[in-house]
Amino acid sequence: MGDHKDDHKDQPLRVGAAVRRRRRALQLTLAVVAGRSGLSVPFLSQIENDRARPSRTSLEKVADALRTTAVELLAAADPACSVDVVRAEPDPVAEPRMRSLVRGHHQMHASEFTGDHDAGREFQYRNDQLMYVADGAVEIEAEGRAYRLGRGDTLYLTGGVRHRWRATVSDTRVVVVAVAEHVEAVQNRSR
């Protein structure tokens, strides 16, 4: 198997979905993008459906037509595989930090927070989220109530709940899993 540092890097990226999302966000038709980029509608359609892999030059033409860059489109691309390993970082750093546990543009987002956290900052996510304390302890204030969580405890917050939290132990690690903000998962929840 060899070295597994870059499990993700050698996977081809599906740039089609990123191109389609960007085009729809700008409310453009394939014909308009074709006109701006000089590429044909059938070719653009094949790119969006991942039936054609655009050259770097073609991707740059598409990006220009979509008022973005090839780099941005590649960053938003989905990996062409359904399995992605995010390895633990070798040496924990002393200062607080956050790292994403899900790469790319997916329907689920997950982050790991290590060390203390800015308790003054209030969060409010559109979609539901789950907080899991992997190590240490945290204090969470949500909907006017305070919750103390220790190692192995979880807290579930529905979308729209304002909350803030802080680590009460120095080596705290918290994993936050949520439905990504770009996904409309909340169905007219009346408050």
> Which range, of 57-71, 90-104, 109-123, 126-140, averages the lowest pLDDT?
90-104
pLDDT-based confidence at residue 44 (cuts at 50, 70, 90): very high
Coil, strand or helix at 22: helix
| 51: three-class secondary structure by DSSP | coil
Q: Are strands 137-142 and 162-167 parallel, antiparallel or unpaired?
A: antiparallel
**Tens digits of residue pLDDT in 82-105:** 677 888 877 666 677 888 888 776
> CA separation (Å) from 41 to 14, 62, 76?
19, 11, 22
Please choose, from the candidates 183, 52, 71, 86, the residue with its C-alpha nearest in 3D space to the C-alpha of residue 128.
Answer: 183
**38 torsion bin: left (phi>0), alpha (psi -120 to 50), beta (else):** left
On whether the pTM is more than 0.85, the answer is no
Q: Is the pLDDT of residue 79 over 50?
A: yes
On whether the CB atoms of residues 29 and 41 are closer than 8 A, the answer is no
Q: Give the residue, 79 or 59, on which the prediction is more confident.
A: 59
